Chains A and B, each alone.
Chain A
Amino acid sequence: MSAIPALAVDNLSVEFRTRSGIVKVLEHVSFSVGKGETIALVGESGSGKSVTAFAVMGILDAAGKVTSGTAMFGGSDLLKQSERDLAELRGRELSMIFQNPRTALNPIRRVGQQIADVLVRHGGATRADAPKLAIEMLKKVRIPDPERRAEAYPFEMSGGMCQRIMIAIALACRPALLIADEPTTGLDVTTQAVIMDLIGELGRDSGMATIFITHDLALAAEYCDRIVVMHAGHIVESAPSQTLFADPRHPYTAKLLAATPGETASLAELVSIPGNLPDLRREDLPACRYSGRCERLVGRCAEPLPHQTIGDRHGIACWNPL
């Protein structure tokens, strides 16, 4: 990992306008990813992981608005780029794998052609070379018999195969920054390992930085350098993966770990996180958005959250950490 971050997000806040009011979906989100580094973004459903990705990519829904912050990438602020410049960057420098792979593929175009299209459009490949390079990519994502399967349409592929086609498309142009939104949910663990290794390889060889969004904490710990934990639009804890597992300090992180089936002997041992995410439309959202569910609540929790760091890389936003 190098000292210059590939992407530095600072103080990002995002709101959505809805019929029932303004939803403060992200508030003061700050994190960075170094060149060649992989960070994981984890947290419950609805915690703002995808919205963070969309904001950085400049593809927020029309109802969404960035209300503060910067996202520095290669010397310029992505949040201030024109739509045209961003469109130019996406596909070449910035690449995203979306949460819903089957719907993101063109249903009436052969999968090999879809990869070839990207290689020609963004990767500088010629029309003549592209099909061969596309087969090469299919091979890298472990599609058996890639020469023949390149001819298949998405409906002829399994769920996990479509997911791998999306990964092949996202990686085809060797982006500087990859945002992968739950890219391996439909993959068995051996294929998943191959994909994670492939992403790691691109990190080492071409310095690709990766933001890896996942619900699988063990996967994050094994393949990512750092884990950033989000809850209700706040980053509550961030630490090197091993540290986070061995020594979680935010009460929410500890609860997430307790809900993860690992070596557990029975289902009864797993504990879901009590309570729900707060309603983000509320005017009077508490300073700590976890306080309504927290067992370690103290009087100070109503004050603006502290951002303390232990050592130089373990950050916690909590008044009464473990």
Chain B
Amino acid sequence: MTGLLEISQLAKRFEVGGKRLLYAVDEVTFTIGKGETVGLVGESGCGKSTLVRLINRLLDPTSGSIRLGDTDLAAIRASGFAGNTNRRRVQMVFQDAGDSLNPRFTAFHAIADPLRRLKSLSGVALTARVEALADMTGLPRTLLTRFPHQLSGGQKARVGIARAIAVEPELLILDEPTAALDVSVQVVILQLLQTLKRELGMSYLFVSHDLNVVRLLCDRVLVMYLGKIVEAGPASEVFADAKHPYTRALISAIPQADPDKRVGRLRLGGEPRSPIDPDPKVCRFYGRCPTGEPRCAEQMPALRDVGPDRQVACHFA
């Protein structure tokens, strides 16, 4: 698979008073192939949204590179990205479709907006394209005149997706796109995403806390813990045979309706380490890790290959 997005040593550190730095994303490296769906999972606060905002150029990285095809996006300042020709190549669907839609824009206006700005469409051509997008995302055309508050959660999610794919991005980033949706609407949206991917050949970076959804939708999965990628591999393999102790704990915590499936659960004890000025020698998971040993406090495990297309950052994997 040819690489579409190549992230190398990407870091974002926030200043949090005094000379202290919060390591939100810490020298992360990965690639996304053309037409590939990559899931990004990890603990709340581990840096997923920050990573996404770096790639989408809403935030400037502290260091590292973001190559999309042959362009280094990291070299373009976030403030100047809106007018950049590369803008349309990366689009984003936000967690709360409701909050991210302009309340004064009708559905039509919301979908038309990027087409006007980034593709200079107008008149009949614009209307035709908006209607085609509504059809593609299963949004009844009669709803195009409605404002966000007149639409249901699922309908707003469709508007958000229609708007994001309007300019035919090469990479679509979705940050918890179905978290606010009920299971029935979620099914429709997930199946829609799968169809769109087949038809348009886009790549997805899909951030989610729903591991069952990631397993079903994604080709590959990246697992983050406190700013670092700790495991990466094909979704089916990672879910069937997780190598990193954090990934194992995560999978083992998936809620189970059947009590028999809850036996042998791995519950993490200990205190999570601070993201502020972390010790560069200590594994970020040390202290909560069930397999941690003194060595883990002396040498940070690097992300290394442990089989075809599988990587883990743990001394003992």
List residues of chain A with CB under 8 Å of any chain B CB.
43-46, 100, 139, 142-145, 148, 151-152, 156-161, 163-164, 182, 185-193, 215-219, 221-223, 241-242, 245, 255-256, 259-262, 264, 266-268, 270-273
Contact = CB atoms under 8 A, between A and B. Distances in A.
B187 A186 contact: no
A128 B271 CA distance: 26
Nearest to B272: A144
A163 B213 CA distance: 21
Contacts of B259: 242
Nearest to A196: B255
Contacts of B154: 45
Interface stretch (B80-88, B106-114, B188-196, B302-310): B188-196
B95 A45 contact: no
B262 A272 contact: no
Contacts of B209: 160, 185-189, 192
Contacts of A259: 183-184, 186-187
Contacts of A182: 180
A135 to B, nearest CB: 13
Among A160, A182, A188, residue most surrounded by chain B Cβ atoms (within 10 Å): A188
A314 to B, nearest CB: 16
Contacts of B14: 156
B179 A190 contact: no
A270 B187 contact: yes
B102 interface: no
Interface in B6-27: 14, 16-17, 20, 22
B95 to A, nearest CB: 7
B212 interface: yes
A157 B273 CA distance: 16
A218 B257 contact: yes
Contact of B254 (A148, A189, A221, A241): A189
B187 A189 contact: no
15 contacts: A139-B271, A144-B273, A156-B16, A159-B44, A219-B255, A222-B255, A223-B255, A255-B184, A261-B212, A262-B212, A266-B216, A267-B194, A267-B216, A272-B185, A272-B187
Contacts of A100: 96, 99
A229 to B, nearest CB: 12
Nearest to A197: B267
Given A148-B276, A215-B182, A159 B49 contact: yes
Contacts of A217: 183, 257
B152 interface: yes
Interface in B49-91: 49
Nearest to A47: B182
Contacts, number: 151
Among A45, A157, A164, residue most surrounded by chain B Cβ atoms (within 10 Å): A45
A183 B208 CA distance: 16
Interface residues of B, number: 58
B44 A158 contact: yes
A188 B184 CA distance: 21
B239 to A, nearest CB: 11
B33 interface: no
B275 A160 contact: no
B217 A161 contact: no
Counting from the closest, the 4 A-B pairs by CB-CB distance are: A160-B44, A145-B274, A221-B257, A144-B272
Contact of B183 (A159, A215, A221): A215
Given A218-B256, A267-B194, A260 B211 contact: no
B183 A264 contact: no
B275 A264 contact: no
Contacts of B213: 261
Given A159-B95, A267-B194, A190 B250 contact: yes
Contacts of A270: 187, 190-191, 216
A192 B250 CA distance: 10
Contact of B190 (A152, A189, A267): A267
Contacts of B268: 190
A214 to B, nearest CB: 10
A186 B182 contact: no
A213 to B, nearest CB: 11
Contacts of B250: 188-190
